Amino acid sequence: MYRSGITPFGSIVLWLALFLSGCEQQDAVPIRLTGWIASPIEETLTRTFVDTFEQRHPGLSVRYEPIAANYMDKLLLMLATGTAPDVIMIEAFWIPLLVEYDVLLPLDDFIGRDPGFFPDDFEPVLLDAFRSGGALYGLPKDHSTLALYFNPDMFEEAGLAVPPRNWDEFAEFARRLTRDTDGDTRIDQYGYGHAEDLEYSLPFVWQNGGDFIDGRGRIVFAEPASVEALNFLRRMKTGGIAVMPSDVGAAWNMDAFGRRRVAMAISGLWAANFLNETYASVPYRVAVLPVGKLPASVAFAVGYGIPKRTRNPELAWRLLRYLTGPEGGRIWVKSDIGLPARRSVAQEAAIERDPLKRVFS
């Protein structure tokens, strides 16, 4: 069972900006596109999109304006002041917040007037992740669930042959993998590296039958099932067999994995690309998450939307339909960043026969 959740974002920047006088955009020539920079390969692929779009649409040009840091804060401010680019990269997690503040353009009319777009080709659950109130506010480009990355060399040294299958094994394996490898009486290799972001704790909560928000939008982390799951993670941390990235001087949990400070970490398919590019000498394997009372993971869906205050909605749609169309999907699938959002592209790429990617499908 895969589930996706809504991550609460601090909306102070947007709330304040909505009181500012709106800045009218000038005619968007060229079409402006923004997104975050997750890795060099993703930025390269996005620029490939821009080049191929311009080749296939003579007379149109795209200005790519990536945001290097604090993406959501900067995007919220631009959306509130009417200065956002014509096409913006968004996570499905953000849709409820952006819809609440009425800053996205519904896409249903564009799709209804575009018989060649074939929205039924998208995985339904991914398309639904961008819906709110029956309207569609974004289209997915790719997706990934979370899985367990582990270092096979460290496993072998600890006498472990297979990845943990359940929480008991997970904690026991983390204990056996926590070691002083250089004999200086200090622990320098930990069993598990946990990411700070809420999404990485959600699988444990869901696997224990808990949740973090109910159907009425109330935070329910205090419910017994949720507390029990979070206490499981807390005991690993206080027991000295799990660390956060900052505990070992790492930027994020997969950076700690690449530095060989942790033997196990949880991440999405994009982490494979990061390891291949940044820590090519570090071996890794990937397995499904260890299971609690029931199997569950988080589905991350990333796509594109159009700001409501864009001055060029028709041109923005032409770029968005290309980014999320079959040809765009084929460009994305060439890298280990995410799985295709379109079923036809996934079938062409034979995802189910790929030993790495099928773990995240």
145-161 as b/e: b if 16+ CB within 10 A: bbbbbbbeebbeebebe
Q: Are residues 277 and 163 in the same domain?
A: yes
Rounded to whole angstroms, the Cα distance separating 104 from 14 reads 13
Within a domain: 293: no
Domain count, the chain: 2
Going by pLDDT thresholds of 50, 70 and 90, the confidence category of residue 216 is: low
Within a domain: 297: no
Going by pLDDT thresholds of 50, 70 and 90, the confidence category of residue 8 is: very low
What mean pLDDT is predicted for residues 48-77?
92
Q: Are residues 122 and 154 in the same domain?
A: no
Residue-wise pLDDT tens digits, 224-246: 999 999 999 999 999 999 999 99
Contact 338, 270 (CB under 8 A): yes
What mean pLDDT is predicted for residues 4-19?
41
Find the domain containing 173 and state its range. Answer: 147-288
Provide the residue type at 52 as one letter: T
Going by pLDDT thresholds of 50, 70 and 90, the confidence category of residue 6 is: very low
58-82 as b/e: b if 16+ CB within 10 A: eeeebebebbeeebbebbbbbbbbb
How far apart, in Å, are the Cα atoms of 140 and each of 213, 261, 289, 295, 338? 23, 34, 24, 24, 11
Q: Are residues 250 and 336 in the same domain?
A: no
Residue-wise pLDDT tens digits, 299-332: 899 999 999 999 999 999 999 999 999 988 888 7
Structure token digits, residue 116? 């060649």
Going by pLDDT thresholds of 50, 70 and 90, the confidence category of residue 5 is: very low
Residue-wise pLDDT tens digits, 74-132: 999 999 999 999 999 999 989 988 999 999 999 999 999 999 999 999 999 999 999 99
Question: What is the predicted pLDDT for the residue at 165?
Answer: 98
Within a domain: 69: yes
Within a domain: 158: yes
Q: Are residues 125 and 161 in the same domain?
A: no
Residues with Cβ within 8 Å of residue 146, at least 6 apart in sequence: 199, 200, 203, 266, 267, 268, 289, 297, 298, 300
Mark which of 241, 256, 288 sits at the end of a domain.
288
Rounded to whole angstroms, the Cα distance separating 282 from 151 reads 8
Within a domain: 295: no
Q: Report whether pLDDT(26) > 60.
A: no
What mean pLDDT is predicted for residues 1-13?
42
Within a domain: 294: no
Of 246 and 9, the structure prediction assigns the larger pLDDT to 246
CATH of the domain at 250: 3.40.190.10
Structure token digits, residue 56? 């296939």
Q: Are residues 236 and 258 in the same domain?
A: yes
Question: What is the predicted pLDDT for the residue at 217?
Answer: 64
Provide the residue type at 141 as one letter: K
Tell me the pLDDT of the chain averaged across its residues: 88
Q: Are residues 38 and 133 in the same domain?
A: yes
Q: Does the N-terminal peptide bond of residue 340 adopt cis geometry, omega within 30 degrees of 0?
A: no
Q: Are residues 88 and 169 in the same domain?
A: no
Q: Are residues 236 and 275 in the same domain?
A: yes
Residue-wise pLDDT tens digits, 253-278: 999 999 999 999 999 999 998 999 89
Question: What is the predicted pLDDT for the residue at 272?
Answer: 93
Within a domain: 174: yes
Mark which of 288, 313, 342 sits at the end of a domain.
288
Rounded to whole angstroms, the Cα distance separating 129 from 4 reads 8
Q: Are residues 103 and 186 in the same domain?
A: no
Rounded to whole angstroms, the Cα distance separating 137 from 105 reads 6
Of 9 and 81, the structure prediction assigns the larger pLDDT to 81
Q: Are residues 139 and 156 in the same domain?
A: no
SS3 at position 45: helix
Q: Are residues 259 and 348 in the same domain?
A: no
Q: Are residues 15 and 69 in the same domain?
A: yes
What mean pLDDT is predicted for residues 23-47?
74
Within a domain: 360: no
